Amino acid sequence: MTDTALDLAHAAMQAAPEDDALRLRFFERLGDAELFLLLEAEAVGDQVTPQVFDPGTGPLVLVFDREDRLASFAGAAADYAALSGRIVAGLLAEQGLGLGLNLDVAPSSFLLDADGVRWLAQTLDNAPDTVEARLAEVTAPTGLPDALIAALDTKLATATGLAQMAYLVGTADTEGKRGHMLALVGATPGAQEALARAAAEALTFSGIEAGAMDVGFFDANDPVTERLARVGLRFDLPQPAPTTAPEPTAPGSDPNRPPRLR
């Protein structure tokens, strides 16, 4: 069966244990992934009760990056909640719990203790400041490492429908300060925080200093957008297919209302 993104990132990390960039990339994939959290019983409303294990290193819960892997571990039908890795990390950090990924069922089997989960949750919770300074100049981006470009491309590919496109540009403000900016065009209402966090994660997990890039939001009809298009490195965000299906109501489906552990 095809390896998952976590399998590939874990294998790369294991092959070069001294490479911090590969280790950060694995944790980025963990935060982005949809994870299946093994429960003691079916979720009740927005409350979930995970099965808690203690292998001798402290209490932890089990997550899997495929449903069939969870079923293989459980050996029978099992209750679970499908949640993003960032939501799982936040929930477990609040409870002081560790995490076991794909234990005994995949090459990406991995243990992260409570301290590691707390670090991951805090890292995923970082967000950059948005741009408020008046821009005097917009130029082509220069001097940014390929790792950041690749991280932005990967991260923005997961932001389906949150904006129309993004441009990475060089900037200078009216005081002469130079920097870089990720300019997001046509962001949907309420999506700015999620997009800013996505940009912050691309910075953090590519190992780039947090202050190396600002984030700005622009209307598609703003005159500056034409300037951004002329000089910027463009990223097209995927757009959702039209659908009339009702919004999901499963625990964790609304990022503004994460489930609660019982």
Instruction: List strand residue ranges (DSSP E) for the chain, in order.
Output: 34-38, 47-48, 52-53, 60-64, 80-84, 98-101, 110-112, 135-139, 165-173, 178-185, 214-218, 233-236, 260-261
What residue numbers bound the domain in which 155 lies? 135-236
Q: Model pTM?
A: 0.73
The burial of 17, by beta-carbon neighbours within 10 Å (0-12 exposed, 13-18 middle, 19 or more buried), is given as exposed
Residue 96 placed within a domain: yes
**Chain position carrying tokens 């999901």:** 248
Residue 202 placed within a domain: yes
Shared domain check, 148 and 118: no
Shared domain check, 110 and 140: no
Q: Cα separation of 100 and 29, whole Å? A: 15
CATH number of 196's domain: 3.30.70
The domain boundary, picked from 125, 147, 178, lies at 125
How many structural domains does the chain have? Answer: 2
Shared domain check, 173 and 114: no
What pLDDT shows up at residue 123?
A: 87
pLDDT tens-digit profile, the chain (262 residues): 689 999 999 999 999 999 988 899 999 999 989 999 999 988 887 788 999 999 888 999 999 999 999 999 998 788 999 999 999 999 999 999 999 999 999 999 999 999 999 999 998 877 666 556 677 889 999 888 888 898 899 899 989 999 999 999 999 888 888 889 999 999 999 999 889 888 888 888 887 654 568 889 999 998 889 999 999 999 999 998 776 555 556 666 666 677 777 6
